Amino acid sequence: MEHRDKILIEGLEVRTVIGIYDWEREIRQTVRLDMEIVWDVSKAAASDAIEDTLDYKAVAKRLISFIEGSSFGLIESLAESCAKIVIEEFGAPWLRLKLSKPGAVRGSENVAVVIERGTA
């Protein structure tokens, strides 16, 4: 039986240089990551061992480090790079990633892009 289990990382907030305007290049702004990662958790459920699952703490730490050290103009580019890390470095078969830039548009609570990558 095929599993459609998912591991979620929600509300991961990181400060980074993001934006196309000169003033944005001189400050750090908060971006927020929400991810839904397809991952068969049945082996880990049976073994109760971290080695048998996606280490979401390791994923979060890697993304925090990457985002803090990055300097993108567009959230689209940052989202694509984050998705690539999770797929290539952690072996996720598929993910949905929402990258938000709260307050990017005056009068709005949030602006975000949502991408889906992988083959699951």
Catalytic residue among 43, 84, 98, 101, which? 101
Bridge partners, 13 (sequence order): 32
Tell me whether residue 101 is one of the annotated catalytic residues: yes
Whole-angstrom distance, CA of residue 90 vs CA of residue 66: 14
Q: What is the DSSP string of 18-57?
A: E-SSGGGGGS-EEEEEEEEEE---HHHHHH--GGGS--HH
Q: Which residues are catalytic?
A: 101
